[in-house]
Each structure stands twice: as C-alpha cells, then as structure tokens.
Chain A
Amino acid sequence: MKLRTPISPHIHIRTTVTTVMLRVVAALIPGIVVYAWLFGAGVVINILFAIAVALTCEALMLKARGRPLRPFMSDGSAVVTAVLLAVALPPLSPWWLTLIGIAFAIVVAKHLFGGLGHNPFNPAMVAYVMLLISFPREMVLWAPPTALAEPPLDLMETLRAIFLGHYPGALSIDALSMATPLDQVKTQLGLEQSVAQTLAASPAFGILAGRGWEWINLAFLAGGVWLLRKRIIGWQIPVAMLGALAAMATIFYVIDPEHYASPLFHLLSGAAILGAFFIATDPVTAATTPRGRLIFGAGIGILTYVIRTWGGYPDGVAFAVLLMNMAAPTIDYYTQPRVYGRK
C-alpha cells in the first residue's frame, strides 16, 4: 500500500486563481451592460475581440516559454487584462488598435516581464499608455452616448465601423465622436470658461458628472463593492485612492470653484471608479501590506488629480497606476505590519 505523504495543511479552500479572476470579470459586467446600453454595442464587440486576441497571445507565449498550457490558460488572468483594456478604449476603436494594445499587454507587459505574478506593471495600463502615446488621435475619439448621437449606430453599423472603418452615410469617425467630459472641461478651461459654464453649455454633461458616464461609473462601483464583500480585493486601495482624489478635488474646488471641477465630478468621470476597484487593485502589481495599500491608493488618487488638472492628458489614472506600480516594492518593504510579540 502506498501512502501519500504531502506536507500540511492537508485541506484547502476551493478558491483558485481562476475563481479570483472570474469574479473580477463578473464584477465588471454591470458596468459593461450600462456602458453598452448608453453607448451602443461597440464596447461589447471590443471586449469579445480583445479576449480572443488575449487568449491567442497567451497560448503562443506560454508555448514559447515552455509553460504548461492547461493551468495557465484557464487561470483567467489574460481575460481580465483583455476586458480592462477593452473597457478603457473608445467604444468605436478600430480593431487594429485593440489588437496592438492587447498583444502588447500580453506579450510584452506580461510575459516578457516574467508572466503571471511576476510582471511589475499592470499589463492593461502599460498597453493603454503605449496606445495613448503612439495613436493619440484614435485614443480620444469617443462616440457620444447613443442618446446624443444622431442617428445612433445599430449593431451592423458598429461592426462595420470597428472592423472595416466604414461609417454610415458620409460620416467620418471624427464627426461621430465627441470629446469626453473630462476632456471638455480641460479644453474649456484653456479657453477661460468656468467649469460651471462648460457644464451648462454642453450636452455631454449629466446630473452628476459626464452624461452617461455617471451611470456607468455607478455600475462599476456596484461591482467593486461586490468584490470587496467577496474579499477578492481589500478596501484599502479603493478607499485611499478615491479618498485622496476627492480630498484634492475638494481643496481646489473650495479655493476656486470657477476653475476647478467638483469632487463628485472627479469621482464619477473618467476612469476613477474603474481604476480604484479594478485596476489599482490588481494584486500582482499593487502594494501588498495593509498600510502599503493605503499609501499606494492615496498616491494614485493624488497623481490622478495632478495629471488631470495640470498634466497634458485628460485622464491620469493609467499614468498614476504605473507610477505607483514602480513604488510598490519599496512601499511594501517599509510598511511591514507589526508581527505578533514584537515591538
């Protein structure tokens, strides 16, 4: 009789990496549904296409690196990267933009840095920044919410727009798109318009922040809270990041409401919520100690505000995350929790 003699513990909870990753994807679904509802099916098409590209790249890289396919293909990490990047891209992005972005995320940012668990930078954000720098024009062409588009694109038109670059009638992508709310505030401020004037003047703004965006972000928030409750993510990073962002926004808003957007506008526009719950919390690249996570999150919140307000790009979440990724190991080292029985 052969007895097996593994080392303790002999039991294990059922959660696996796959569970963790799939829960993250599941938590993104409400936001994506609202997104598609308000902006058309483009985002869903992008996501599906991105997942297909990501899994292909993942398989090729695993083969090239001589890693077993089965456990790594099913871990779900490539899917998370694909969904996050696809959500961050404009919904009518041409297919090649998604392809280049995902391929870069998986091949370079993930596998060339050592693969799952070893990459120092969030792959989706590395790819996002790469695209922003290489294709600045395509990256800012956001379709307006369907309610504002005349007439809105149907599914076939969306598919044609993404994969063939054909737009209905004589329209071009430029005509179809409009600047995002964050963008507009920034541009108008440059033209000496006050924030309030901008908000009142443009149809792109809704009750709380950017029209449509406010609801998408609330849906992402709901997914994020669910992740917290399922203990897939800790509270420290989202709370610290949103708290720091709101604090910065409040300070400047109180000083000069003419020129600075309100904290609520900052929280519910752009990628703040998505970033706080889904991107900054990427465990591999975030700080890992409890206090370290607070510092890490706060750093992202502050940097996001700084880049949004004074930087050259409309949204700063991606840059802020990457900058703090760099600091994560150092933050961890200096924020070790106090061990039982030690001073």
Chain B
Amino acid sequence: MALSGSAGQESGPGVNAKLWRFHGGVHPPQHKAESTGAPVRRARLPKRLVLPLHQHIGEAAEPVVVKGEQVLKGQMIARANGYVSAAVHAPTSGVVLDIGDYPVAHPSGLSASCIVIESDGEERWVERTPVEDYTAINPSHMRNMIREAGIVGLGGAGFPSFIKLNPGPGKVVDTLILNGIECEPYITCDDMLMRERPQDIIAGIHILRHALQAKECVIAIEDNKPDAYRIMSEAVASEEKIRVALCPTIYPQGSEKQLVQVLTGKEVPSNGLPIHVGVVLHNVGTAYAVHRAIHLNEPLISRYVTITGDAMGQTCNLEVLFGTPIIDLLDECAADMARLDRLIVGGPMMGFAMHTVNAPVVKTTNCVLATTTQAMPAAQTAMPCIRCGACMDVCPVNLLPQQLYWHSHAKEFERAQEYSLFDCIECGCCAYVCPSNIPLVQYYRYAKAEIWAQEREKDRADLARRRHEFRIERMEREKAERAARLQKKKADVAAGGTKQKGDDKDSKKNAIQAAVERARVKKEAVTNEADPSSEVEDSDKKLD
C-alpha cells in the first residue's frame, strides 16, 4: 500500500524496525525457565468457586443471580455497573451457594463481595452464538460484545478492554501494540500463550484492529522469549501490517508508557493516555480472550496462570477458572506449606504479598509466586539515604526517587508533588537497587494516600464550611423574621393609638416589608443551594 509514510517500517518477520530506549530500568534475575518446561494444562475443577464482583478497575459488578439459583457455564452472574465496569460470568455450571463477603486477593487483606458457586462437575454451557465473520459487525456492536464478555486487560491492571477499543471521535490509531513483553521475573503466562495459541492471538488481533481501525499493529516480545518470538513471527509471516518487534529484555518495559516510548519514540503526556500519541495497547492475553468472545462466543471465565516459586513442588502454567481458590492450586502443584513464607500474586517487582491462601484467582491474576525465605529473604534493616543516586539512574520515569523519599519521609507532601510524585508508576526499580534498602515504594504509596486523604479532608471541610454558612444564614433569616413579626405586632398594637405617629408607623411598615423581602430572597437562595446541605448529611454518614 502507498499509505506508509515513514521509511524503514516494513512489516514481516525478522525485520525489526527501529527501537528507542526509556530511561533507567533494571535487570533482575529472570527465573522464567522454571515454569516453561511443560505444556499448559487445565487446573482441576474446584468444588467451590469464589467470584469477586470487583476484579477490574472501576465499579463493582452487580449480581443478577440469587442464592440457590442454578447457573450454566458462561452465564452472566453479575452485570457491569456503569461505564467503567465489567461483567462476571459463571466459570462452570452449578448452583449459587452464597453472595457475601469473602477474602480476596487484595493488598489490604480485607474481604469483599463475592458470588460463590458450587460446581456440579458437568460443565454445561449456556447457549452460544459464535460470529462467523467479524467484519460484518460494526465496531460499536463489537465493543458491546466484548463488554458483555467481561473482558478486562489481562496484563495486570484489569481496565475494561472495550473502553480502550473506543478511541473517541476524531482520534486516529496509528499503532496498535500487542503487549507480549512480560518483563516481570518469574511470570511466563503470556510467553506460553504465544507459544501455544499464536493463531488465536492473531485472530483476536484482527478483531481489535477492526474495532480500532488501526493503521498498523506491532506485537512486542522481549528477547528472553526466543520461542514465542519465532512462533509469533511465523504466524504473522503472511499478515499485512502486523509485525513482531523483538525488544532487548529490561524491566519495566512492559509498562504501557515505557513500551510506547520503546516502539514509537513518543512519550505519552503525563496525565495523558497512549491514544493521545495515536497508540492503543492491549495485552496478548486480551487479544486471545477477544477471539474467544467473538468467534466462539465464550465470555472471559479462565486464564493462563503461572504457578512458580521455590516453595512450589511443581512449577508450570495452568489454565485456571476464575474463582478457583489459590489454596487449590498450591495443593495441585504440591506446594511446601511448611516452608511457604511469601505468597505473591503477580511478579516479585510489583506483585503483592497475600495475607491468606484462601483468596481466589481473578481476571488479573497472572502469577502465583510461592517462595521460601531462601529465595526471598526478609529485607535488611533500612539505612539512611546516602543520596547515591542509584535510584535516580534506574527510574523509568526519570524522577528523583531520593528527593521523593526525602520529602515523603519528612511528610512534606507538597514538595513531593513538586518532584512529580504522581508520575511514579511504583515499578519498584528504585527500591530494588537502593543500597540502603529503603522500602521506597512504600513511602510513595504512603505519601500518595496521605495526599488523597488530605484532599478528601479538604472537600469535607469545604462542605462543613458551606453547611456552617447555611446555618448562619438560616439563623439570620429567622432572626429577621422574628424581628419582622415583632415589629408587625407592635405596629398592629400601635395602629389603634395616636395618629401623630403616622409617619413613623409608615417607615416601620417599610422596614418590616424590607426585612420580609430580604428573608424571602435569602430563603430562595438557600433553597436553591439546598443540595449541598443534603450532600453534607450523606457525606458525613459515609465518612463516619
């Protein structure tokens, strides 16, 4: 096609277009080989599945089943609640045991609303209507189908995918990036997916491109996955405008903004989105899920999960139904429960350590990493910051982590914001290299949380102030009204008295009328602003 304006951007396997670099980055030990030895198999069907209503970014889904109801595999059990939300489907057939609070995989260790399904072991599907020709469907309908399928970004954050398939009016998508970077150590689920399901991924990419009308598509793979690279390259050999980019391994290359920089040389504006530089990113797993949703009409009910760590008897990748309790996986892979010390969901750089083994696998669970103190010894005592700048040298956002730390530590949050605290992506590179062993990310999270709390507090204070003003106004108004009534009474009494005071009386009458008028105006003003006062009541309740 004569469309391509930029030189050297040929498509096809083996041809690697120019790559750029992002600032900093680190090279932690990979530990990927442990879990790529065997083909992916399905995890055992659990007896009970616990499905959190909140497995994504945005509003929690809203249950559409009731306790005791029979459900079929793939049946929607909770629907998206608002625009930024995602539906939840039954991963297998069975009966709804309960809807209530259960432990979930969340850093806070708190419980959250879940639907519990007891499987009947029959795996009976709902009726499905596969789409033969995706090009016959218009992009908006397509997005809706993807939305109905409950698909969220499978790379980690879990942002509802259909939103990222809607670039908005007038926005042109130059590049669709398929993120197969998987830069976190230990995790290999995308690697295995690319090795085992290349055609399905490509089929998903076609759908995504159709929905986005993207000019070209790049599948990004790090050079620590030569097999996946070879297989994907072969798979796109006959494709037009889809190419595979082999990127030198460096963490955190898989982070959206860094990957945009590597592949396009452009920087996503701070507070902006990749679409602002003509780029949309989806995880390769998401492409796979989209293919299944459209071509097979299967909603998102399972994913590849890497099971690894030195506390695991067997390290591998499993296809796991959502809702499967992690303890079941530990069991199936013969984890050494006596030596298990840290149970991490996600990778060692950004994953979080769980409080319980009972939480379920959800849409964003890419890895279950079970380690002993041997592989991951407890952190050493933190020393003072010696300002060596090692953190600064590795920060992919080009921040000054030492200054962020200094000001967060001193609780000088405004200063921390001057040093762009909120641009920090919490990748952990700085803490990884800090010779003083300072848990830097912890300080940044703390500072961010404090700033949010202060802002909430300020909003609350604003409301309180408005409420206070409202009360003062009301008291003034009542006072004025009382005064007016009193005046009127006096006037009425005086009306039967001497006429000498006529002028005086008139002026009094005027005064009364003026007061009443003032009060009325005020009252109107207040009723117009009545909402804040009710808001105050509400927010008070919430905050208490």
Contact = CB atoms under 8 A, between A and B. Distances in A.
Interface stretch (B94-102, B196-204, B375-383, B477-485): B375-383
B59 interface: no
Interface string B419-455: 1100100101001111111010110010000000000
Interface in A11-37: 11-13, 15-17, 19-20
Considering residues A17, A288, A336, A341, which has the most beta carbons from chain B within 10 angstroms of its beta carbon?
Answer: A341
10 contacts: A1-B357, A3-B355, A5-B107, A6-B342, A8-B353, A12-B437, A283-B388, A337-B392, A339-B397, A339-B398
B387 A339 contact: no
B267 A340 contact: yes
Given A1-B357, A3-B340, A3-B356, A16 B435 contact: yes
Contact of A10 (B348, B389, B437): B348
B367 to A, nearest CB: 12
A10 B403 contact: no
Given A8-B346, A16-B383, A289-B400, 9 more contacts: A1-B357, A6-B378, A10-B348, A10-B353, A71-B383, A116-B384, A117-B385, A234-B389, A341-B269
Contact of B387 (A13, A71, A288, A342): A288
A182 interface: no
A340 B348 contact: no
Nearest to B269: A341
A284 B380 contact: no
A126 B343 CA distance: 49
Interface residues of B, number: 72
B contact face: mostly helix, strand, loop, or mixed: loop
Interface string B21-53: 011001011000000000000000000000000
B379 A341 contact: no
B80 interface: no
A183 to B, nearest CB: 34
Interface in A316-343: 332, 336-342
Contacts of B107: 5, 7
Interface in A244-303: 283-284, 286, 288-290
Given A4-B342, A11-B28, A288-B402, A20 B442 contact: no
Contact of A339 (B268, B371, B399): B399
A234 B435 CA distance: 15
Contacts of B257: 340-341
A16 B379 CA distance: 12
Interface of B: 22-23, 26, 28-29, 107, 109, 185, 257, 261, 267-272, 337, 340-344, 346, 348-357, 371, 376, 378-381, 383-390, 392-393, 396-400, 402-403, 419-420, 423, 426, 428, 431-437, 439, 441-442, 445
B423 A12 contact: no
Interface in A63-87: 68, 71-72, 75, 77
The 6 A-B residue pairs with the shortest CB-CB distance in the complex, in nearest-first order: A117-B384, A9-B428, A341-B270, A5-B353, A283-B388, A10-B348
A298 to B, nearest CB: 18
A contact face: mostly helix, strand, loop, or mixed: loop
B400 A288 contact: yes
B387 A1 contact: no
Contacts of B23: 340
Contacts of B435: 15-17, 19-20
Given A12-B431, A13-B432, A5 B270 contact: no
A229 interface: no
Contacts of A12: 379-380, 431-432, 434, 437
Nearest to B276: A341
Interface string A136-155: 00000000000000000000
A15 B441 CA distance: 18
B384 A118 contact: yes
A114 B520 CA distance: 65
Given A9-B441, A117-B387, A341 B432 contact: no
Nearest to B28: A11
Contacts of A101: none
A3 B22 contact: no
Contact of B355 (A5, A11, A332): A5
Contacts of B352: 5, 7-8
A58 to B, nearest CB: 14
Given A3-B353, A5-B355, A71 B386 contact: no
A181 interface: no
B420 A339 contact: yes
Contacts of B383: 16-17, 71-72, 75, 116-117
Contacts of B433: 13, 15
A4 B423 contact: no
Contacts of A77: 386
A42 interface: no
A341 B255 CA distance: 14
A8 B428 contact: yes
A40 interface: no
Interface string A196-230: 00000000000000000000000000000000000
Given A13-B433, A338-B398, A8 B349 contact: yes
Nearest to A3: B343
A341 B400 contact: no
A342 B268 CA distance: 9
A67 to B, nearest CB: 10
B385 A341 contact: no
A115 interface: yes
Contacts of A71: 381, 383
Given A3-B357, A338-B398, A340-B397, A10 B381 contact: no
A336 B400 contact: yes
Interface string A110-146: 0000011110000000000000000000000000000
A341 B267 contact: yes
A17 B337 CA distance: 35
Nearest to A340: B397
Contacts of A7: 107, 352-353, 439, 441-442, 445
B376 A10 contact: yes
